[in-house]
């Protein structure tokens, strides 16, 4: 997928007018690109549209309209767009506020134990948090950024209809699921 450029973005004024319809479209799109992996982990598979929405919202919230600020947002968020042989995922660890501190303390390293598997191929474990570490000696973060790299044989199998599995293999959180066919098809479209 091609990275976003300034020309792909709406001005603050244009976005203010288009936001209700654009937001509804993006939220529907995101709902089709989410995968629950167990009761407390949601994976959002990012693409150009989800990243454009994030950038537009940042520009709106921060009232950024100068070229340097827009360029900084593009530089920060463009790495979340898949680039043809991978998927980029935002991992959300979701717990009730009272349970969150204890759960996040037990889940240190969880981002390294996330995997995807194309039927007939080995598991691909995530490359996590390439921008910066999101855990410390006491706990992990509730949000992580993952990248899953696929080889040509995996991509060919997916295009041929192979089943896609996903999971987390952490001592304190072990869950695996099959990707619904609609999600599998959407993810195939993200690949070159």
70-121 pLDDT, tens digit per residue, is 999 999 999 999 999 999 999 999 999 999 999 999 999 999 999 999 999 9
Within this chain, do residues 58 and 87 fall inside the same structural domain, yes or no? no
Q: Cβ(108)–Cβ(136) under 8 Å?
A: no
Name residue, tokens 């968020």: 77
What confidence score (pLDDT) does residue 132 get?
Answer: 67
Number of domains in the chain: 2
Host domain of residue 130:
34-46+82-192
Within this chain, do residues 117 and 157 fall inside the same structural domain, yes or no? yes
Within this chain, do residues 7 and 27 fall inside the same structural domain, yes or no? yes
Within this chain, do residues 112 and 181 fall inside the same structural domain, yes or no? yes
Within this chain, do residues 38 and 57 fall inside the same structural domain, yes or no? no
Please give the span between the terminal C-alpha atoms of the chain, in angstroms, as a whole number.
Answer: 8
Please tell me whether residue 162 adopts helix, strand or coil conformation.
coil
Interacting residues of 38 by C-beta distance below 8 A, sequence separation 6+ = 168, 173, 175, 177
Within this chain, do residues 55 and 97 fall inside the same structural domain, yes or no? no
DSSP assignment letter at 98: T
Q: How far is CA 73 from CA 21, 46, 104, 130, 164, in A?
A: 22, 16, 28, 17, 33
Within this chain, do residues 142 and 114 fall inside the same structural domain, yes or no? yes
d(CA 81, CA 78): 6
Report the chain's mean pLDDT, rounded to a whole number. 95
| Mean pLDDT, residues 163-178 taken together | 98
Q: Exposure string (b/e) for 3-30, b if CB count within 10 Å is 16 or more?
A: ebeeeebbeeeebeeebeebeeebeeeb
Q: How confident is the model at residue 37 (pLDDT cuts 50, 70, 90)?
A: very high
pTM: 0.92
Query: Minimum mean pLDDT among 19-28, 42-51, 124-133: which range?
Result: 124-133
C-alpha angle 2/168/27, rounded to 5°?
A: 45
């Amino acid at each position: 997928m091609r990275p976003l450029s300034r020309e792909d973005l709406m001005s603050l004024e244009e976005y203010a007018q288009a936001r209700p319809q654009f937001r509804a479209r993006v939220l529907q799109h995101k709902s089709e690109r989410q995968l629950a992996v167990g009761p407390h982990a949601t994976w959002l598979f990012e693409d150009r549209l989800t990243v454009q929405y994030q950038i537009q919202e940042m520009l709106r919230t921060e009232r950024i309209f100068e070229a340097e600020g827009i360029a900084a947002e593009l530089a920060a968020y463009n790495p979340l767009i898949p680039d043809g042989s991978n998927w980029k995922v935002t991992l959300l660890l979701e717990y009730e506020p009272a349970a969150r501190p204890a759960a996040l303390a037990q889940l240190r390293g969880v981002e390294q134990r996330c995997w995807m598997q194309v039927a007939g191929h080995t598991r691909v474990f995530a490359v996590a948090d390439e921008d910066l570490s999101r855990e410390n000696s006491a706990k992990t973060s509730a949000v992580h950024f993952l990248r899953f790299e696929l080889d040509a044989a995996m991509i060919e199998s997916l295009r041929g209809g192979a089943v896609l599995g996903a999971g987390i293999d952490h001592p304190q959180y072990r869950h695996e699921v099959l990707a619904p066919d609609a999600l599998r098809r959407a993810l195939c479209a993200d690949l070159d």
